[in-house]
Amino acid sequence: MSRVRWAVVTALALLAGLLVAASAAAGTAETLLSQGKPASSSSKEGTSYAAAYAFDGDLGGTRWASAEGHDPEWLRVDLGTAQQITRVKLTWEVAYAESYQIQTSSDGSTWTDVYATTSGDGDTDDLTVSATARYVRMYGTARGTEYGYSLWEMQVYGAGGTPTDPPGDTFTVAAAGDIAEQCTASSSSCVHPKTAALVEAMNPEFVITMGDNQYDDARLSDFRNY
């Protein structure tokens, strides 16, 4: 295989590596799974504090609140299908839980604890969990105040949903091998006008050059057709 062809293969391998890395980043990015999904609760303080308000994305505006003075209470969300869950974030109002569990279920009836605490303090709880489930709920067993339980938002994150683009701007990379036009191996002042013109037209942010001190007799069509 000529040096021209090796340069092409190397360039393609490098660019494929960039694409694989970008694809992996997109595939593993966390997605907010719970916003706008059907929600229910064991009770509510009133119509203005329904379960859905903890999943509407209006942080600090609307909230869920249970009936006052009663334990246990729960709030749950239906993700629609089984999802890989990686994180649950609870933004408490003044009425927080001192003891609670984060539970998951595939059928909405049988629940499994993926997190539990008896020392809740009302601060925002950003919890790393690992589960595959359709339903997720906060199950409060001991109130931290005389009121009920209240959450501004309960956000469930995971690897499912619509993949997001990896962070950062897009950019163009030009990879040029030792493609020789109007050159010979003995030339000491060889230039590559056609290759240079193509790269210039691409206006890339980065240029990868691959070649050696010898030039192969080749045409641009050899590069394109290989």
Domain CATH for 67 = 2.60.120.260
pTM value is 0.62
Q: What was the pLDDT predicted at 127?
A: 99
Tell me the Ramachandran region of residue 200: left when phi exceeds 0, alpha when psi lies from -120 to 50, beta otherwise.
alpha
Whether 57 and 110 share a structural domain: yes
Domain count, the chain: 2
Q: What was the pLDDT predicted at 134?
A: 99
| Higher pLDDT among residues 30 and 163, named by residue | 30
With beta carbons less than 8 A apart as the criterion, state whether 33 and 88 touch: no
Cα 203 versus chain centre, distance:
30
Whether 110 and 184 share a structural domain: no
Q: Which backbone phi and psi does 14 adopt, to 5 degrees?
A: -65, -45
Q: How far apart are the first and last CA of the chain?
A: 11
Q: What was the pLDDT predicted at 224?
A: 53
Residue 158 predicted with pLDDT over 90: yes
Greatest mean pLDDT among 19-23, 122-126, 164-168 lies in 122-126
Whether 46 and 145 share a structural domain: yes
Composition of the chain by helix, strand, coil, percent to 5? 20, 35, 40
- What is the mean pLDDT of the segment spanning 94-98? 99
- What is the mean pLDDT of the segment spanning 32-40? 98
Confidence of residue 202 (pLDDT cuts 50, 70, 90): confident
Residue 27 predicted with pLDDT over 90: no
With beta carbons less than 8 A apart as the criterion, state whether 123 and 171 touch: no
Residue 73 predicted with pLDDT over 80: yes
Q: What was the pLDDT predicted at 200?
A: 73
Q: What was the pLDDT predicted at 173?
A: 72
Residue 203 predicted with pLDDT over 70: yes
Whether 67 and 141 share a structural domain: yes
Residue 127 placed within a domain: yes
Q: What was the pLDDT predicted at 190?
A: 57
Whether 81 and 183 share a structural domain: no
Angle at 127 between CA 123 and CA 119, to 5 degrees: 50
Whether 114 and 36 share a structural domain: yes
* Residue 63 structural domain: 31-158
Q: What was the pLDDT predicted at 206?
A: 72
Report d(CA 35, CA 26) in Å as an integer: 20
Whether 68 and 96 share a structural domain: yes
Whether 59 and 149 share a structural domain: yes
Report d(CA 90, CA 98) in Å as an integer: 13
Q: Which of 110, 135, 158 is the last residue of a domain?
A: 158
Report d(CA 196, CA 204) in Å as an integer: 12
Residue 163 placed within a domain: no
Token duo for residue 207: 């240029």
Write down the mean pLDDT value for the chain. 80
Q: Which of 125, 158, 191 is the last residue of a domain?
A: 158
Q: Which of 113, 140, 158 is the last residue of a domain?
A: 158
Whether 44 and 22 share a structural domain: no
Whether 125 and 176 share a structural domain: no
Residue 151 predicted with pLDDT over 80: yes
Residue 180 predicted with pLDDT over 90: no
Residue 41 placed within a domain: yes
Q: What was the pLDDT predicted at 172?
A: 75
Q: What was the pLDDT predicted at 117?
A: 99
Whether 195 and 212 share a structural domain: yes
Whether 86 and 101 share a structural domain: yes
Report d(CA 146, CA 128) in Å as an integer: 29
Percent of the chain at pLDDT > 90 equals 57
